[in-house]
A and B are shown apart, each in its own frame.
Chain A
Amino acid sequence: MEHIALATGFLLILIGLYGALTQRDILRMIVAFTIANTGVNLVLVAVGYIRGRSAPIINDNLPAAEATARMIDPLPQALVLTAIVIGVGITALMLAYAYKLYILRGSLDISKIKELKW
């Protein structure tokens, strides 16, 4: 059951990569990359899931004492937080690049940016 999340995560990654590598338009590529990122984040979280345990929020119905027995592994979720933030940073940077390239080149076609080669 818990493999569904993992599988969808991987599926999203593959879709993202496929989209990034086939679309000519830069914005579409950025969207594809964000899909891949969300896929990765989903995988991160899915890995930490243990069947039959609750979310790692210590409150009244999950006291600290038996927390380690009843909650899922909290660490991947912590990692996901930083991963998401970094994903946002990079996507913002890519959008800025797309904007600048559009001003400079007037087109968003990736195959037009080929002056640096060999």
Chain B
Amino acid sequence: MVDALAIIYLTLGTAFLLGLLRDEWRILAYGITLLSLAMVSGIASTWVWHLADNPAESVEIMTAGASPPFAINLRMGLAEAAALMLATLTGLASTIFLKDTLLRLGRRAMAVLLVFIMAICGIILTRDIFNLFVFFELVVIATAGLVLLSHNERSLGAGFKYLMASQVVSILLLVGIIFNYHVSGSLNIDDMAGMSDMLIQTTPLAFFLLFIALIVELKPFPANGWALDIYESAHPAFSAILSAAAGTASLFAVDKVLAIGGDSWLPVATGIGVLSFIGANLFALAQTSDRRLLGYSSVAQIGLILAIIGQRDILGDSYWLIAGGVLLAHAVGKAGLFWLSGLIAERELTAWTALRDRPLLLFAFISFIALLIGLPPFPGFYAKWELIHLLAGADRIALIVLILFGALLETAYLFRWFGLILKHDEVAEKAPCPIQKVVVIYSAVVAAWSLAYLWGELSVFGNLMHAIPLLFALLFLPLEGLPARIKNVLAIGGLVTWFILQYPLYDPLQLIFGAIILPGGALILLASFHNQGRRIGFYPAALWMFAGLSMLIVAEDSFTFFAAWESLTIGSYFLILRGKHSQPHAQSYILFSLGGAFLMLLGFALASAGNPLFPLESLTTVAEDVAPWVFILLALGMMTKTAAIGVHIWLPGAHAEAETDVSPLLSGILLKAGLFGLFILLIYMGRQQLYGIDLTHVLLWVGAISALLGNLMAIYQEDAKRLLAYSSIAQMGYALFGLALMNHLGWLMALMFVVNHYIYKSMLFLSVGGVAKRTGTKEMYRMGGLITLMPLSFIAVLIGIIAVSGVPPLSGFGGRWIFYNAIMSAEYRLPMVIIFLAGPIAFLYLFRLIHTIFLGQLKDEHRKLKEAPFWIILPQMIYVACLMVFALAPGLALRHVDAYIDNFFPRNGLNWEGLTITSTYGYWSPVSIMIVVGVIFATLFAWLVFVNRRAQKVKQFNIVFAAERPYRPETTHFAWNFFAPYRKALGFMTQPLVTRFWATVAESLHTSAELFRRLYTGDGQTYAIQLLGFVVAVYLLSSGVFYGV
């Protein structure tokens, strides 16, 4: 193995060698720099490879032939090797990125760059604190030099402020070092660590100075004005190295030095870390310049890692996995984003729309964002999962809540940024793509996905990258070039074959959900055949969602459940974002879903009491005192997905603005994920008491109220898709109500709703989407009289509303019949009043939907409309057939599910013999009702048609208009404000209280960010004063640690 010191002397040597070259030989100088950096990163990689096999033995490197107290020693362990590899590779990549700048500035800049990389490697390796000081000063000098690479004069000011701050730090560091030496007699970290408790008794101040100097090097939140100016004005390639490599090195230094201070100092580190994480993320909300936002984000991430370092006492052996995971994710993600910002000309976030028609770069951007937030399958996800569980084990709930809140803020501004890129109205011109810059970015993407694979291998839960559904979704990335129709065939084939493969493993409950997700999804995807072109980004997102859903229903333990939950959220987010005006709604969707997911994460952590591997079955054996909280957290998390009242505001916008074939996917299938979660929760946790209130009763009330308010709000909508979206909220409220009844028939009703709602809601969304595609508008009052032009859509909507309203012959009535039997045996009756009111109200908006679109007066511009495209009509007709079959023989789907529910609620199930279904209170045979009603209807219809066979077919204005002539079709079609009297009577119940509440929450965060970021006045001296103030404040606050111990 090559000696680790080679890294130091190789880079230093080439730096000086460059001095000898002539100034004009710039290409040669650049070549030599690249060569040396390549060799150095090769050495680091061989070390990583070597140490990976036998991680135990880390190598001590003696210098000057003497042992430590008298000479500097360096250590090369697996962690050091990984950090070195990261630093050198980032350096190499940035140098490639900086090709033209370096060639312009000549060999001196290359030399400074090499020194910069060498200093960073030095910090990682050295075990001597004075040596650490020297390398830090080298980093300072190199940074001050390299800041001027960017041709932005403001970097001059930033550089000077940086130098001032580093002067103060070096003073603190030097005084700290000398006093520590004075007491311990040695400069070596290991020796000092040996006598750390003696050190702390005698001179805690000395260690404090040393510690706080290194902490300030990490640019902690209140004292990092100078750092943000560097990030904003420096060359992005340099910022990449600074944020990734230098950040890693400083974190390493702090980790080493903390060994001296011992465990009593860890809370201080955690405190500072969490403060930085939340403060920086909060300020990032109000940022408009991209690089300054990246600066805040990197400060926040480094704060998070500092907090993790602060928790290493309880993290035990998975400390390196967590800290490493988050660190590497931050480094690669941040470096990638900085390099991407190198391609964009302007500095506003909106200028990034230049990436819009560069799918590969867009994919890079998404990977970096997912890497930073820690979405599956990236390392951050595994790290965050383990971290939260171990913290929960050590009962540090407050810390978890703070970390999750910070992570939510981070998702907020990163996804808003992504939404801006895709949906901002004026598009900047296409970003230029010089080859060397693009190569660097793609290498970062490859690194990101290989890290994902690596961390999958390392994690104990099984590698997410091995999950076949996810791989199938990723398979569609290279296939983006194919036309949409071929990809559609592939997707449908994949879904159906996966269902056939999984079919034997499903138990009845999973079978119901599986049948809706996989073949059901394939059926809806049939409607996607109507688009031409390539539909970039649709199929990976859709199949990522389907992968999440299919993994969710077979999840054994909480990790796979949570991973599936987050992947379906991500997939559905990208689907929603495809709509034309859907950016704000997609944003609120992702925030609510990820917020809910974090609540579930906290719930699982509490339930598992610290052990990351937690099978779902053991939810039943959760400790008594913590069980109700776990129930609440998990239920809240799942209810964000079924849009129960209070967390429903994302649904109307998301479903209404999505594309024609995406709305049914969301409304028909995605909402069921939440329901499945609630099923699992109630199966395992059953009834929970909290302060004497039975939580299932609370769920009953929530279900009933969402049913009522969902229906009420749906009545007053003018937009057809919004009407259907609110109706979905109501139907989910019904299903939740059925579930919370906690008796056999209640669950059966909920399952029937799952199947029913999927069929008729997808059908209604498809037909309304088809009509909207033809008429060009979703506003109902603009349409009218389309029955003659679009008969098939009309039939689909007619059957749909009969099914939804629960009118006898169709399956809706089956749901109501079971509902009635369920509430007969339920003992808690008060919420039933609201459900009874919600029932008939559904009838109002259903009629409004069919009347304003299909009946009434036909407008002039719609006279020549064709029927909806064939591929949108086909699924609807299949659904009509399904509804008929399901109405005639509900037993087909529900028979063995009924038996399955028996083992939860043994008594008063239904028994199904032949065509009649009997419960304890009565029996009902759908076929006989259908026949009787059918016969009566047919005879009367035939007789009327026969009698009126010579009736005169008249047109739209042949109406008795009080002996006058109707003016125009628009003025005679009654559709606007259709239920005005009802609004006068019950309008007060639809005040947007919830929307206002969430708006104030978001608003307050933004204004506080806007207000407090004034802290950074831009004046170098104020920054220095803030720095000193921070040092004093930490000193005072941590005095408890001094004298408490």
A–B contact at 8 Å CB threshold (below)? yes
Q: Does A72 sit within 8 A of B, measured CB to CB?
A: no
Cβ contacts under 8 Å, A118 to chain B: 286, 1013-1014, 1016, 1018
Q: Which of B122-172 contact A (CB under 8 A)?
A: 130, 134, 137, 140-141, 144-145, 153-154, 156-161, 163-164, 166-168, 170-171
- What's the least CB distance linking A25 to chain B, in Å? 11
Q: Once A and B bind, how many residue pairs between them come within 8 Å at the CB atom?
A: 116
Q: Does B239 sit within 8 A of A, measured CB to CB?
A: no
Cβ contacts under 8 Å, B156 to chain A: 97, 100-101, 104, 113
| A75 contacts B181, C-beta separation under 8 Å | yes
Cβ contacts under 8 Å, B228 to chain A: 116
| B153 contacts A104, C-beta separation under 8 Å | yes
Cβ contacts under 8 Å, B153 to chain A: 104
- What's the least CB distance linking B90 to chain A, in Å? 24
- What's the least CB distance linking B169 to chain A, in Å? 11
Cα separation A98 to B157 with both chains bound (whole Å): 9
Name the contact of B178 in the complex, choosing from A33, A47, A113, A114 (C-beta under 8 A). Answer: A47
Name the contact of B163 in the complex, choosing from A37, A43, A90, A111 (C-beta under 8 A). Answer: A90
Cα separation A45 to B179 with both chains bound (whole Å): 11
- What's the least CB distance linking A74 to chain B, in Å? 11
Cβ contacts under 8 Å, A100 to chain B: 156
| B1016 contacts A113, C-beta separation under 8 Å | no
| A93 contacts B1021, C-beta separation under 8 Å | no
Q: Does A110 sit within 8 A of B, measured CB to CB?
A: yes
Proximity bits, A69-100, B CB within 8 Å = 1, else 0: 00000011001001100100110011001101
- What's the least CB distance linking B678 to chain A, in Å? 45
| A110 contacts B1019, C-beta separation under 8 Å | yes
Q: Which of B27-47 contact A (CB under 8 A)?
A: none
Cβ contacts under 8 Å, A20 to chain B: 164, 167, 1021, 1024
Q: Which residue of B lies closest to A76 (CB)?
A: B178
Q: What secondary structure prevails in chain A residues at the interface with B?
A: helix
Q: Which of B507-541 contact A (CB under 8 A)?
A: none
- What's the least CB distance linking B16 to chain A, in Å? 16
Cβ contacts under 8 Å, A40 to chain B: 170-171, 174-175
Cβ contacts under 8 Å, A115 to chain B: 154, 157, 1018
Proximity bits, A25-36, B CB within 8 Å = 1, else 0: 010010001001
Q: Which of A49-84 contact B (CB under 8 A)?
A: 75-76, 79, 82-83
Q: Does B1017 sit within 8 A of A, measured CB to CB?
A: yes
Proximity bits, B689-707, A CB within 8 Å = 1, else 0: 0000000000000000000
Q: Which residue of B lies closest to A9 (CB)?
A: B175
| B174 contacts A114, C-beta separation under 8 Å | no
Task: Please judge, given known A-B contacts A21-B1025, A90-B140, whether A44 and B1020 are in contact too, CB under 8 Å.
Answer: no
Cβ contacts under 8 Å, B134 to chain A: 82, 86
Cα separation A13 to B182 with both chains bound (whole Å): 19
Q: Does A17 sit within 8 A of B, measured CB to CB?
A: yes
Proximity bits, B766-778, A CB within 8 Å = 1, else 0: 0000000000000
Cβ contacts under 8 Å, A117 to chain B: 1016-1018
Q: Does B566 sit within 8 A of A, measured CB to CB?
A: no
Proximity bits, B203-232, A CB within 8 Å = 1, else 0: 000000000000000000000000011001
Q: Does B233 sit within 8 A of A, measured CB to CB?
A: yes
Q: Does B1028 sit within 8 A of A, measured CB to CB?
A: yes
| B167 contacts A90, C-beta separation under 8 Å | yes
Cβ contacts under 8 Å, B175 to chain A: 13, 40, 43
Task: Please judge, given known A-B contacts A79-B130, A83-B174, whether A36 and B167 are in contact too, CB under 8 Å.
Answer: yes
Cβ contacts under 8 Å, B174 to chain A: 40, 43-44, 83
| A113 contacts B181, C-beta separation under 8 Å | no
Cβ contacts under 8 Å, A101 to chain B: 156-157, 160
| A116 contacts B166, C-beta separation under 8 Å | no
Cβ contacts under 8 Å, A29 to chain B: 164, 1021
Task: Please judge, given known A-B contacts A21-B1025, A40-B174, A82-B134, whether A114 and B1017 are in contact too, CB under 8 Å.
Answer: yes
- What's the least CB distance linking B156 to chain A, in Å? 6
Cβ contacts under 8 Å, B144 to chain A: 90, 93, 97
- What's the least CB distance linking A39 to chain B, in Å? 8
Q: Which residue of B lies closest to A98 (CB)?
A: B160
Q: Which of B173-189 contact A (CB under 8 A)?
A: 174-175, 177-179, 181-182, 187
Name the contact of B158 in the complex, choosing from A17, A93, A104, A116 (C-beta under 8 A). Answer: A116
Cα separation A82 to B136 with both chains bound (whole Å): 13
| A90 contacts B141, C-beta separation under 8 Å | yes
Cβ contacts under 8 Å, B161 to chain A: 113
Cα separation A10 to B288 with both chains bound (whole Å): 43
Cβ contacts under 8 Å, A94 to chain B: 160, 163, 167
Q: Which residue of B lies closest to A45 (CB)?
A: B178
| A114 contacts B141, C-beta separation under 8 Å | no
| B1024 contacts A116, C-beta separation under 8 Å | no
Task: Please judge, given known A-B contacts A20-B1024, A86-B170, whether A97 and B163 are in contact too, CB under 8 Å.
Answer: yes
Q: Which residue of A lies closest to B152 (CB)?
A: A116
Cβ contacts under 8 Å, B154 to chain A: 115-116
Q: Which residue of B lies closest to A79 (CB)?
A: B130
For A75, A82, A100, A104, which residue has the most chain B Cβ atoms within 10 angstroms? A75
Cα separation A91 to B612 with both chains bound (whole Å): 52
| B163 contacts A86, C-beta separation under 8 Å | no
Q: Which residue of A lies closest to B1027 (CB)?
A: A21
Cα separation A71 to B1018 with both chains bound (whole Å): 50
Cα separation A81 to B23 with both chains bound (whole Å): 32
Proximity bits, A14-25, B CB within 8 Å = 1, else 0: 000100111000
Name the contact of A26 in the complex, choosing from B140, B160, B181, B1028 (C-beta under 8 A). Answer: B160
- What's the least CB distance linking A35 to chain B, in Å? 11
| A97 contacts B1016, C-beta separation under 8 Å | no
Task: Please judge, given known A-B contacts A36-B171, A116-B232, whether A44 and B178 are in contact too, CB under 8 Å.
Answer: yes
Q: Which residue of B lies closest to A46 (CB)?
A: B178
Cα separation A116 to B227 with both chains bound (whole Å): 11
Task: Please judge, given known A-B contacts A40-B171, A116-B233, whether A33 and B1017 are in contact too, CB under 8 Å.
Answer: no
Cα separation A41 to B164 with both chains bound (whole Å): 18
Q: Which residue of A lies closest to B1013 (CB)?
A: A118
Cα separation A42 to B130 with both chains bound (whole Å): 16
Cβ contacts under 8 Å, A44 to chain B: 174, 178
Name the contact of A111 in the complex, choosing from B286, B1016, B1019 (C-beta under 8 A). Answer: B1019
Cβ contacts under 8 Å, B164 to chain A: 20, 29, 33
Cα separation A93 to B134 with both chains bound (whole Å): 16
| A110 contacts B1021, C-beta separation under 8 Å | yes
Cα separation A118 to B1019 with both chains bound (whole Å): 11
Name the contact of A113 in the complex, choosing from B160, B177, B182, B1028 (C-beta under 8 A). Answer: B160
Cβ contacts under 8 Å, B229 to chain A: 116
For A82, A90, A117, A118, which residue has the most chain B Cβ atoms within 10 angstroms? A118
Cα separation A17 to B1024 with both chains bound (whole Å): 10
Cβ contacts under 8 Å, B181 to chain A: 47, 75-76
Cα separation A79 to B177 with both chains bound (whole Å): 10
- What's the least CB distance linking B232 to chain A, in Å? 6
Cα separation A49 to B166 with both chains bound (whole Å): 28
- What's the least CB distance linking A106 to chain B, in Å? 13
Cβ contacts under 8 Å, B130 to chain A: 79, 82
Cβ contacts under 8 Å, B1017 to chain A: 114, 117
Cβ contacts under 8 Å, B163 to chain A: 90, 93-94, 97
Task: Please judge, given known A-B contacts A89-B141, A111-B1019, whether A17 and B160 are in contact too, CB under 8 Å.
Answer: no
| A97 contacts B159, C-beta separation under 8 Å | yes
Closest A-B pairs by Cβ, 5 of them: A117-B1018, A114-B1018, A113-B157, A116-B229, A86-B137
* Other A-B pairs, 8, CB within 8 Å; known A21-B1028, A47-B181, A113-B156: A21-B1024, A97-B160, A110-B1021, A111-B1021, A113-B161, A113-B1020, A116-B154, A116-B158
- Residue contacts A-B, CB under 8 angstroms, 15 given: A26-B160, A29-B1021, A37-B170, A40-B175, A43-B178, A47-B182, A75-B181, A90-B170, A97-B163, A98-B160, A100-B156, A110-B1019, A111-B1019, A114-B157, A118-B286
Residues of A near any B CB (own CB < 8 A)? 13, 17, 20-22, 26, 29, 33, 36-37, 40, 43-44, 47, 75-76, 79, 82-83, 86, 89-90, 93-94, 97-98, 100-101, 104, 110-111, 113-118
